[in-house]
Amino acid sequence: MSEVVLQETDAVLSDGDDAVRIDLPRGVPITGAMAEAAAARLTQLVSEGPRPVILTVTGVTAITREARAVLAQVTGVSAIAVLGESPVDRVIANFVLGTMPLPCPGGFFTSETHALAWLEEVCAH
């Protein structure tokens, strides 16, 4: 598994066997610039074909309109599971999943096990 830390306040991307993981930083709003940096790295990781993604939003304070626009245009993703813990995380996930049509199936989960099972099921079809 490879891991890339873009900056202290940017997303951490890791390329696992089951999915590409994007862990958004806790305690900060996610800006368009942060989303663009993560999307650029994601594009490199999925260059060989579409991959499932787990996007962790736990502790994120907000996702700007610009960041949501960037996420809605990401290519090379076969499905996205947004992972969070709290009601606030669910609201943030709803902004990511529902504000703009995503280019792939998406869902919110509070369990990584359930998220991975869903990704496996969705990507098998």
Q: What is the pLDDT along the chain (125 residues), one digit of tens a residue?
A: 444 444 456 778 777 777 899 999 999 999 999 999 999 989 888 888 889 999 999 999 999 999 988 888 888 899 999 999 999 999 999 888 886 677 789 999 999 999 999 999 999 87
Entry pTM: 0.85
Q: Which pair of structure tokens corresponds to residue 48?
A: 């060989």
Instruction: Kindly list the structural domains of the chain, giving each domain's residue range(s) and its CATH number in brackets, ordered by start.
Output: 2-124 (3.30.750.24)
